[in-house]
Amino acid sequence: MEINANNTQLKSWIEVNEGSDFPIQNLPFGIISTDKKPKRVASRIGNSVIDLSALSDLGYFGELDTVHLFDQENLNPFIEKGKAFTRAIRNRLSGIFLEGNNELRKKENDLHKVIIPIDRIETHLPVQIGDYTDFYSSIEHATNVGTMFRDPDNALLPNWKYIPVGYHGRASSIINSGVAIHRPKGQQKPTDGAPVFGPCKRLDFELETAFITYPGKELGDHISPDEANHYIFGMVLFNDWSARDIQKWEYVPLGPFLAKNFASSISPWIVTLDALEPFRVSGPTQDPEVFSYLKYQGDKNIDINLEVLIQPENGVATTVSKSNYKHMYWNMDQQLAHHTINGCNIKAGDMYGSGTISGPTPDSYGSMLEISWNATKPVKLSDGSERTFINDGDTVIMRGFAEKNGVRVGFGEVSTKVLPSK
């Protein structure tokens, strides 16, 4: 099916600055509020926010039934409607804001209600997340961690190339960009000596993306890789905060727990998978051959440039990593196929982390654990200070965008400040 809104030739009558992540080809979805009105659904072009509840009230969606779909505190009711509907809304938005279309542009009263400058809104967590799963799908990341902590000659565990390894995380502590976190406390075990309790000393970020699903199938059914696209609504940037010292002591034998569940931060605008389709690329060769329920057709990776910056308190931000989503060994369709092959059901608004996205070179690693190579190689920031992990007062910023044929579709950023332990 042709996605009209992706046409690279389209231009909006709304001004879009050079290098913006939000041209008319993006049209992401999020939740905003203003001084005058509570939470509702919005999109954006450039630095202009589009109030979809106002557009709906004014009748701009015509035949598309949007009654009480956009005056909501989250996107779940909208996502519940499925891919054909969300695609139709995005195509309709593309039409309304297309250069040459004056149906809204020339109506001063309507314009005033629909378009809000970005500096007058606040964004909120876009979905009510029922379940959250985190994968471990970057071969570079898994190899680095295995090399550091186990055996450089057998860095990958025997299951890694057979199974898109994952675990069930915590949904309640997923937070919007801009919400500060407190350094977690917990048990740690020094190499020599008894376990101790106190603030985490090795606070780390994990550079990830996450995808959000539409309603799935009934309990007991599975979703094949070829069907998966139909069940994925969109993506966000995802900083999966990790307390490495707590993790090291607690993770045996059941895996991550308090080292991971204190916070994960996401970017506020969900970029639809539709908007990312033009940036598909092929993934790495999978050897050994995967089970047939994980086999897929076509290009399933996506070329998304990713960047991590650390900004010390009152200082300027320094880039500490540049990676790319295209490096992922297991793609989203395979992750969803694996997740459901046992009959596990998925729901609208569920979130699935990619796992840390490391590239092949040290300047593309997706966590401080790897960048500082387990605290043996400190990173110098532009103010002259050094980091092996994240300090109190630091703000970690992640950015991401795809770019091709003169069109740049991006996520903006996820930015989180670290405060001292409570």
Contact present, 246 and 186 (Cβ < 8 Å): yes
Among 51, 71, 240, 370, binds Ca ion (CB under 5 A): 240
Q: Which stretch binds Ca ion (CB under 5 A): 17-25, 98-106, 233-241, 337-345?
A: 233-241
d(CA 61, CA 188): 55
Could you tell me the smallest distance in angstroms from the CB atom of residue 188 to Ca ion? Answer: 19
Phi, then psi, of 228 in degrees rounded to 5:
-60, -40
Nearer Cβ to Ca ion (133/324): 133
Q: How many residues bind Ca ion (CB under 5 A)?
A: 3
Does 370 bind Ca ion (CB under 5 A)? Our answer is: no
DSSP track, 249-295 = HH-TTT--STTTTT-EEE-SSBEEHHHHGGGEE-----SSPPPGGG-
Alpha-carbon distances, residue 85 vs 63, 69, 331 (angstroms): 11, 12, 25
Contact present, 383 and 404 (Cβ < 8 Å): no
Residue 371 tokens, joined: 């960048």
3-state DSSP percent of the chain in helix, strand and coil, to 5: 25, 30, 50
Could you tell me the smallest distance in angstroms from the CB atom of residue 352 to Ca ion? Answer: 11
Residue whose C-beta lies closest to Ca ion = 240
Residue type, 24: I
Residue 89 tokens, joined: 């809304």
Could you tell me the smallest distance in angstroms from the CB atom of residue 386 to Ca ion? Answer: 25
Does 134 bind Ca ion (CB under 5 A)? Our answer is: yes
Q: Which stretch binds Ca ion (CB under 5 A): 54-62, 101-109, 235-243, 333-341?
A: 235-243
Q: Which stretch binds Ca ion (CB under 5 A): 25-33, 88-96, 97-105, 234-242?
A: 234-242
- State the catalytic residues: 141
Could you tell me the smallest distance in angstroms from the CB atom of residue 122 to Ca ion? Answer: 27
Dihedral sign from CA coordinates of 236, 241, 247, 250: negative
What is the Cα 391 distance to its own chain's centre? 23
Q: Which stretch binds Ca ion (CB under 5 A): 63-71, 116-124, 129-137, 397-405?
A: 129-137
Site mask for Ca ion (CB under 5 A), range 201-220, x = bound:
-----x--------------
Nearer Cβ to Ca ion (134/333): 134
Nearer Cβ to Ca ion (14/368): 368
Contact present, 408 and 421 (Cβ < 8 Å): no
Nearer Cβ to Ca ion (206/250): 206
Does 71 bind Ca ion (CB under 5 A)? Our answer is: no
Does 333 bind Ca ion (CB under 5 A)? Our answer is: no
* 38 contact partners, CB below 8 Å, separation of at least 6: 73
Nearer Cβ to Ca ion (43/137): 137
Does 51 bind Ca ion (CB under 5 A)? Our answer is: no
Q: Which stretch binds Ca ion (CB under 5 A): 52-60, 142-150, 200-208, 244-252?
A: 200-208
Binding site for Ca ion (CB under 5 A): 134, 206, 240
